[in-house]
Amino acid sequence: MKLSVGLWLLATACSSSSSSPRAPAEKSGRAERLQIGDLEAYALEDGHLVVPNDGQLLGFGRPPSEIAEVLAATGLPRDTIRLDIQCLLVKAGDRVILFDTGLGDAPFPDAGRLPRSLALAGVQPVAVTDIFISHAHSDHVGGLLTKADALAFPAAAIHMSAPEWAAFQANTDEDSKRFAAAIAPKVTPFEPGAQVLPVVKAVATQGHTPGHSSYEIGAEAEKAFYIGDLAHHSVISVQRPAWSIHADADRPAAEAMRQQTLAKLAADRTRVFAVHFPFPGVGHVVAEGQGLVWRPAI
């Protein structure tokens, strides 16, 4: 089942921009062990996308030359933009918690590795007890269902903010309607900002979507902040937080939320897990000069 939302559009742009056939990807996966206070955690690779720097996706509406200068200043290619996709697994007592689920059965080579990455972390899908969804774009919910449209994590409660679930159910395209119906028995909506589990507090970060949620994980002194799609790129989104991505539903709100939240993360020196930054997506947003930069650190 295909969902035509979020970074699915990027994947389509990426695959259609190449005229040469690509070999099937090796779905090897990666699992990087982390520690969040006393909680055992893993960054789980799902894949990555490489998209053209054309001002139509990241840095939406900006001249590609302007975006290229920002990329080149950090040693990145000027003409393409890479976005990784990784999920976060946290073990907390008898709970096995997964944050987002990747693209699932993606029709392009460099994604769909979550099942193998999960196995490398020593976890079977049936052992997952809770899934926290940042928002209902395909690169975050796609892995909820198998190729046969069955629940990929049959024992897991699916936690999603009430506004996000309502917006997803309001989609009128047939694929989205079937997808919503398939997961509905497992969805447990929460109010924005709720303390959903003792170790998971939702943080309302709407703008990218109507009910987008980030999550604070663990004890206050040693917590990690799961940003979801608050920021997509470790250079562009952090150094130019006022620049949008095409998929932002409410661009002014998303820009304001990104600027406000990244500044607070830097001021508080909060450890961050970033879904689309280079794997494993763990580090800090740091104030430098008049702006912000990303500093990866396990």
Rounded distance between C-alpha atoms, residue 262 and residue 260, angstroms = 6
Rounded distance between C-alpha atoms, residue 143 and residue 117, angstroms = 13
Rounded distance between C-alpha atoms, residue 144 and residue 43, angstroms = 18
Rounded distance between C-alpha atoms, residue 192 and residue 202, angstroms = 7
Asked if residue 51 is part of any domain, the answer here is yes
Residue-wise pLDDT for 121-167, tens only, equals 999 999 999 999 999 999 999 999 999 999 999 999 999 999 999 99
Residue-wise pLDDT for 55-88, tens only, equals 888 999 999 999 999 999 999 999 999 999 999 9
Number of domains in the chain: 1
Domain with 52, as residue range(s), is: 29-296
224: CATH: 3.60.15.10
Rounded distance between C-alpha atoms, residue 154 and residue 133, angstroms = 16
pLDDT at 20 over 70: no
pTM across the whole model: 0.93
Asked if residue 143 is part of any domain, the answer here is yes
Residue-wise pLDDT for 201-228, tens only, equals 999 999 999 999 999 999 888 999 999 9
Question: What H or E segment, with its residue span, contains residue 139?
Answer: helix 138-141
pLDDT at 7 over 90: no
Asked if residue 103 is part of any domain, the answer here is yes
